[in-house]
Amino acid sequence: DVKVTQSSRYLVKRTGEKVFLECVQDMDHENMFWYRQDPGLGLRLIYFSYDVKMKEKGDIPEGYSVSREKKERFSLILESASTNQTSMYLCASSLSDIQETQYFGPGTRLLVL
């Protein structure tokens, strides 16, 4: 079974703090994704990566950056957290461009005060 894990289920941070969200997958998947999910707005893609050290902006990259130094790990960074970044953050991975089924982690619910 594919396993995607995220470093925290719940996180509370203060405005202006730097926040790191970690995601690890154990199935040698090439593609990894970060989404945020908000009521009424659905799943929105922040960034994705199709290879180590490669990244591409999604639909809402502003205020975020990512890092993929190893194939199994994809990190989302909030350089200076703001209250409008309070959300559920979901990480996902997929095997390759051919096999596009995405496998999701359990999510991190982030509250920025």
Partner 1 sequence: GQNIDQPTEMTATEGAIVQINCTYQTSGFNGLFWYQQHAGEAPTFLSYNVLDGLEEKGRFSSFLSRSKGYSYLLLKELQMKDSASYLCAVKGTNAGKSTFGDGTTLTVKP
d(CA 81, CA 16): 5
d(CA 46, CA 23): 14
Question: Which residues in 20-49 contact partner 1 (CB under 8 A)?
Answer: 30-31, 33, 35, 40-45, 48
Work out whether 69 is an interface residue with partner 1 (CB under 8 A): no
Are the C-beta atoms of residues 34 and 23 closer than 8 Å to each other? yes
**Is 83 exposed, middle or buried (CB count within 10 Å of its CB: 0-12, 13-18, 19+)?**
exposed
Work out whether 50 is an interface residue with partner 1 (CB under 8 A): yes
* Stretch near partner 1 under the rule CB under 8 A, chosen from 13-21, 66-74, 79-87, 95-103: 95-103
Work out whether 97 is an interface residue with partner 1 (CB under 8 A): yes
Residue ranges in contact with partner 1 by CB under 8 A? 30-31, 33, 35, 40-45, 48, 50, 56, 58-59, 90, 94, 97, 100-107
